[in-house]
Structure 1
Amino acid sequence: MSAPIVTASAGATDVGARRKLNEDAYLAAAPLFIVADGMGGHDAGEVASATVIEHFSRLIGREALSIGDLNDALASSRAAVGALGHHGAAGAGTTLSGVAIAAVDGLGYWLVLNIGDSRTYQFCNGELEQITVDHSYIQELIEEGEITPQQAKSDSRRNIITRAIGAGSVGDADYWLFPAESGDRMLVCSDGLTTELTDEHIAEVLRSESDPQRAAEILTADAVRFGGRDNVTVVVVDAVTVASARGIHVQADEADDLADTRPRAAVDGGMR
C-alpha cells in the first residue's frame, strides 16, 4: 500500500538576533511535520520542546496517522513535560503546531493540530491561508473586537498564551482535517516568523522558491533580518503525489487535469 501523500519537506531554525538560547524544536519527517516553541528559559523551554519532539518522533515511518495517534503522543509528551517540574524546571512548557499525513477512504488528507500560538498555514493556488487559530490572550482580544490584527503585532501582551503543553496548562489541542491536493505546500512555524514577516512576504517566498529547504532557510533568515526578536523556526512540506478520488496517485503537475476533491471535513476541537 502506498502512502496517501508523498511529501518533500525541510526545516530551518535560528536563535534570532536577541536571544541567547534557541528554545524551538522541530520535526520534519513523514508522516509528521511539527514545530514546538518552548517557554520558561534555560532548562525549561528548551527541554520541554525537545521532549515533545522526542515523543512525537516515535510516529515517524508510518504511512498515515489518526487523531488517536496524535492524542496518544500528546498525552505521553504532556506527562513527560509535567515531570520536568521535579527536576528544577517547574515552569517548563511549549506550544505545538503542525500537520500529519492522514487517510480517509484511502484518499490523502492533511490532519493539522495546534496548541498554543505557533501556526500552520496552507499555501495553495498561490494563496496563503492560516489554518490554526492562536491560543493567546491577543487572539481573544481580536475576536472580541478590542484590538485589530495589525495592533496585535506590537501589543506588549502578545506573548501571553492560553494553552500549552506543560506550564500549568491542561488545554486540549485543536484539530482540522481536510483533503490534500497535489501541489499543496504546508508551512509550520513558531511565532518568531509571523511576528516579523507579513503574510504577503511569506506568500511571496513560498511562491518564488520551489525547493522546500531553500524556502525554509530564506523565511528564517528574513525573519532574523527584519528584527529577529525571538527564535525562528520554519518547516515547509510539499505534497508531491496525493491519492486521488480516482484511486491513483496524482503528480503535482497533473493536478490541473484531476481536480477531483472533497469538501473539507470538520473535526471536533477545531473550527474553520
Structure 2
Amino acid sequence: GFAAGDLLNVLEEAVEEAKSAVNGVAGTGSPYAESGTTLTAMLWTGSQLALVHIGDSRVHLLREGQLFQITHDHTMVQSMVDDGRITPEEALSHPQRALLLRALGHGADGTPDLRLHDARPGDRYLVCSDGLSAVVDIGEVRRVLTEVADPDHAVRELVGLANGFGGPDNVSCVVADVVEAHS
C-alpha cells in the first residue's frame, strides 16, 4: 500500500508516464500521431482516495442515496456552461460537446486535476466514459447504482443501457464500493 501523503505523487508520476507514451506516438507516421486521450483514475489507501482527471470521462459518487459528479469536464461546452453562455440542457445536444480543452496528447493542455477525497464505508464510485454519460440519463444511472447491489452486475446493466440507446461511442465503466477493512 501507499502512505496517504504519497497518493497524489504516485498519480502525478503515472500521468507523466502516460504523457510520454502518448507523445511517443507523435512523429512516427502513425495515423494516431495527432491523437490525444483522456485519463481518469483513482487510488485508495485506508480512508483516503486520490483522484486524477483530465478530459471528459466522469467520476460520480453515490453517498447516502445522493449522486454527485466529482469531476469537471474539460470540454469547450462545459466552459460555455461555466461562463453562462449556454445552459446545461443545451450542452447535452451541442454539436461541439466532445471538443476537449484538456487531454493527454500532442499540443494539448495536459494539466490534470488532482485531489484527495475521504472515502467512507458505504460510498459507491462510478468511473465512466462519455459513451455512458452522453446517452444514459443521470436518473437511470442513479437508479442502477442504488438498486443493483453487485458492482459487476451494475456495470453490466449500465453498459447495456448505453448500448440500448445506440451507444455511439465506446463505453467504459467501473463501479467500486468502499467497504470496512477486516483484519
- Are 1:83 and 2:24 counterparts? yes
Distance 2:176 2:97 in 1: 27
Which one of 45, 59, 63 corresponds to residue 124 of structure 1? 63
Q: Offset of 1:170 from its aligned partner?
A: 3.3
Contact 1:99 1:120 in 2 (8 A): no
Q: Which amino acid aligns with 2:98?
A: N
Gaps of 5+ in 2: none
Q: Does the C-alpha gap of structure 1 residues 150 and 157 become closer, same or farther in structure 2, counting only changes over 3 Å? A: same
Q: Deviations over 1:155-201 (max 9, x none)?
A: 10001000101142133110221211101101000011111112111
Q: Offset of 1:63 from its aligned partner?
A: 4.8
Contact 1:112 1:120 in 2 (8 A): no
Higher deviation after alignment, 119-128 or 161-170: 161-170
- Are 1:205 and 2:112 counterparts? no
Gaps of 5+ in 1: 1-61, 243-248, 251-272
Q: Which amino acid aligns with 1:157?
A: Q
Which one of 108, 120, 128 corresponds to residue 189 of structure 1? 128
Map residues 5-24 of structure 1 onto 2, 5 A cutoff. none
Q: Offset of 1:80 from its aligned partner?
A: 1.3
- Are 1:159 and 2:98 counterparts? yes
Partner of 1:143: 82
Which one of 28, 35, 39 corresponds to residue 96 of structure 1? 39
Partner of 1:234: 173
Structure 2 counterpart SS, 1:66: helix
| Identity within the alignment, % | 37
> Which has more helix, going by share of residues?
2
Q: Deviations over 1:4-51 (max 9, x none)?
A: xxxxxxxxxxxxxxxxxxxxxxxxxxxxxxxxxxxxxxxxxxxxxxxx
Partner of 2:112: 173
Q: TM-score, normalised by structure 2?
A: 0.92
Distance 1:191 1:225 in 2: 15
Q: Offset of 1:224 from its aligned partner?
A: 1.1
Distance 1:134 1:195 in 2: 12
Distance 1:182 1:138 in 2: 35
Contact 1:197 1:226 in 2 (8 A): yes
- Are 1:72 and 2:13 counterparts? yes
Structure 1 counterpart SS, 2:131: helix
The two structures, once aligned, show a CA RMSD in angstroms of 1.6
Q: TM-score, normalised by structure 1?
A: 0.63
Structure 1 counterpart SS, 2:97: coil
The structure, 1 or 2, with the larger RCO (C-alpha pairs under 8 Å, 6+ apart) is: 1
Distance 2:2 2:142 in 1: 29
Q: Offset of 1:79 from its aligned partner?
A: 0.9
Distance 2:8 2:89 in 1: 33
Distance 2:79 2:136 in 1: 21
Contact 2:102 2:111 in 1 (8 A): yes
Higher deviation after alignment, 222-231 or 211-220: 222-231
Q: Which amino acid aligns with 2:50?
A: L
Q: Offset of 1:139 from its aligned partner?
A: 0.5
Structure 2 counterpart SS, 1:192: helix
